[in-house]
Structure 1
Amino acid sequence: MTRNTATLIGFSAVALWSLLALFTVASAPVPPLLLNALCFGIGGGVGLVWLLCTGGLGQLRGVPLSVYAFGAAGLFGYHFLYFSALRLAPPAEAGLIAYLWPLLIVVFSGLLPGERLRAGHLAGAVLAFAGAALIVAGGIGALEGAGAGYTLAFLAALTWAGYSLVSRRLGHVPTGAVAVFCLASSVLAAIAHLALENPQWPQGITGWGAILALGLGPVGLAFFTWDIGVKRGDIQLLGTASYAAPLLSTLVLVIAGVARATPVLAVSAALIAGGAVLAARAGRDRVRRSKDG
């Protein structure tokens, strides 16, 4: 597989994640833990069938248990926070805050050994967080529980940023391990659901269709294609493409009639995406100067 092919495969994950909020809203009133269990069960099951068909099960024996624990905790933790946020706050606004993770990846990566946090990173962080603050300020008092939803959305962004940064150091782990991550996440979510939630199942064809779509796409195939992209493709180009996710997700919600195209929403989306792009440019400038030097 060429570098360009792997990068294109990674792009598909960004496109699939733009549908995450819409399908999550359509899956209501399924509670977050049960939603995790169902979606990851579908995604992990499809991944397991793929491994059986391609003879890839053997490569999973050499993966340390600590890696499986890390992957399951990252996937389970992020989606539990994300699904909960979209149940408690307006989906477009909560989704935008959750999609601060590309920016957080850029900013936190600048603190890693061998990296440098530049002025562009900080300026981008300020700009994007201004967009998030605009969302929160506009939602105060507008919906009971929205503040808790916004907080969970931000914690989701932190969780996925941390998961992605640590995953950069696990390039030797086969992509097939993602199937185990998903299945383990499904089991964890099912146990937690039985202990903490009252079961509420999807309603009608729309609800079950949303569950199936989530498990096959944003909470299934996307993890496999993203893993291939970040390990074998152009990670900087993929990171930049991720900044389109919040705009695409919001646009999908507006087109579907789930969210209104308000001026505040448009400005917030522009600030968040603009701040992320500014931070990405700072990173590319650093790489360019190091090559020239």
Structure 2
Amino acid sequence: MSGHRLAADSLVTALAPAVWGSTYLVTTEFLPPDRPLLAATARALPAGLILVALGRALPRGTWWWRALALGVLNIGAFFYFLFLAAYNLPGGVAALVGSVQPMFVLVLSVLLLKDRIRAVHVAACALGAAGVGLLVLQPNAGLNALGVAGGLLAAASMASGIVLTKRWGRPEGVGLLTFTGWQLAVGGLVLTPVTLLGEGLPDAVTGRNLAGFVYLGGVGALLAYAVWFRGVERLPALAVSFLGFISPLAATALGYLVLDQTLTPLQIVGAAAVLAAVFVAQPRPPRPPRRPPTSSTDASAATDTDASASAASTAPERAESRP
């Protein structure tokens, strides 16, 4: 794959976490308050059912349990643990805990994809985590064991989903949107009873709320996850995982642009570190093998040899021409 193709795939895939970075803004400004699980269910289930209906294809054979596993890991369990962390930790701490996801992907890629751990990948993991910490961590942040466990489980769930999606691929003859719909539908169905038991439904839903739900389901789920799974197919698992760092970066940028939040110098340094980590982790096309250079000495030796051979071949002719 050429360098231009890799760069284009990375940029397209980065659109998904950039859209997910807007979830905090849409949730706080458009959705009913204190309903994170409802937001997650409304984000996944309608989009998944629409895509399945449009695709008119259901899993077959082993893909029933594979679609179930991927839907739980990438959507259902990931959302639940993510909101468990968000409920029990400040947003900055939750994002920092979640930044260990590339480390999980690194280990799982070795076990399941037979990839190698390289020093540059370990350095990128550390750089990315440090950048997220500077970007979102506040001085008064506190820790909570349940919240930390939720953040780690969310990172492990998404990391497992990325690696297994890379390992299993996509069933032959099934389009990307249908494959995305399977996972969103499974995730939404898993979240539905948890939402009804844990939060219930709001007493009233306004037009502003509906606009927020439509955005999360249409742009935040249907389009964003289709782009994300396309990237998982085309890029290395670790490179895709690092693109997830774009999400807290986008959330911070939107807070600055839309909510009039300020940026400290440390946050700017953190943003630069995040971008550097993402850049370092992206794949590079293999370099073509170099041809061994031909030295002037070798060239002159070859010329002398050819000259000697030519002289030797013409010597008998000269001898025969003498009287």
Please tell me the TM-score bracket, short chain as reference: 0.7 to 0.9
Seen in structure 2, the aligned counterparts of structure 1 residues 28 and 95 have a Cα distance that, compared at 3 Å, is farther
- Cα 1:273–1:158 shift into 2, 3 Å: farther
SS in 2 for 1:60: coil
When the two chains are superposed, the root-mean-square deviation of aligned CA atoms in Å is 3.7
Of 126-135 and 34-43, deviating more is 126-135
1:146 Cα deviation (Å)? 7.1
Q: Structure 1 residues 258 and 196 mapped into 2: Cα distance closer, same or farther (>3 Å)?
A: farther
Distance of 1:162 and 1:212 partners within structure 2: 28
Bigger-Rg structure (1/2): 2
- Equivalent of 2:195, from 168, 193, 206? 193
- The 8 Å contact of residues 128 and 271 in structure 1, kept in 2 or not, is answered as yes
Pick closer, same or farther for the CA change 1:188–1:69 going to 2, 3 Å.
same
Aligned to 1:140: 141
Query: Structure 2: how far apart are the matches of 1:288 and 1:132?
Result: 30
Aligned to 1:69: 68
Bigger relative contact order (CA 8 A; separation at least 6): 1
Alignment partner, residue 166 of structure 1:
164
Question: What is the match of residue 153 of structure 2?
Answer: 155
Shift of 1:292: 4.1
Listed as ranges, the matches of 1:16-165 within 5 Å are 16-26=19-29, 27-51=31-55, 57-58=56-57, 60-62=59-61, 64-74=63-73, 75-91=75-91, 94-95=94-95, 97-98=97-98, 101-102=101-102, 104-106=104-106, 108-110=108-110, 112-133=112-133, 136=137, 138-141=139-142, 149=147, 152-165=150-163
- TM (normalized to structure 1)? 0.75
Does the 8 Å CA contact 1:43/1:221 hold for their aligned counterparts? no
Question: Match of 1:220?
Answer: 222
Counterparts of 1:93 and 1:190 in 2: how far apart (Å)?
27
Q: One-letter code of the match for 1:197?
A: E
Partner of 1:54: none
- Structure 2 CA distance for aligned equivalents of residues 203 and 258 of structure 1: 27
Report the alpha carbon displacement of residue 73 of structure 1 after superposing the two structures with TM: 0.9
Listed one character per residue, the Cα deviations across residues 102-156 of structure 1 (whole Å, up to 9, x for unaligned) are 5653565355553221221222222233345555572435xxx777556534432
Q: Is the Cα contact below 8 Å between 1:84 and 1:149 reproduced in 2?
A: yes
- The structure-2 alpha-carbon separation of the partners of 1:119 and 1:262, relative to structure 1 and needing over 3 Å to count, comes to same
- Unaligned runs of at least 5 residues, structure 1: 52-56
Distance 1:24 1:258 in 2: 17
Residues 215/201 of structure 1: CA separation in 2 closer, same or farther (3 Å cut):
farther
Opposite residue 46 of structure 1, the aligned amino acid is I
Contact residue 44 and residue 187 of structure 2 kept, 8 A: yes
Q: Distance in 2 between matches of 1:153 and 1:24?
A: 19
Rounded Cα–Cα distance in structure 2 between residues aligned with 1:84 and 1:260:
27
Deviations 1:236-264 (A, max 9, x none): 89736555343223212321217542334
2:272 to 264, 270, 273: 270
Amino acid at match of 2:248: P
- Aligned CA distance change for structure 1 residues 42 and 188 (closer, same or farther; 3 Å): same
Deviations 1:207-263 (A, max 9, x none): 3322211111222222222223332x4558973655534322321232121754233
Q: 1:127 to 1:201 in 2, by over 3 A?
A: farther
Cα deviation for residue 79 of structure 1 reads 1.6
Q: Is the 8 A contact 2:23 2:220 kept in 1?
A: yes
> Using a 3 Å threshold, how does the CA distance of structure 1 residues 138 and 111 change in structure 2: closer, same or farther?
farther
Q: Is the 8 A contact 2:37 2:195 kept in 1?
A: yes
Aligned equivalent of 1:249: 251
Identity level (%): 22
**CA positional deviation for 1:70:** 0.7
Contact residue 88 and residue 146 of structure 2 kept, 8 A: yes
Counterpart CA distance in 2 for 1:151 and 1:264 is 27
How far did residue 179 of structure 1 move? 1.3
Give yes or no for contact 1:30–1:201 (8 Å, CA) kept in 2: no
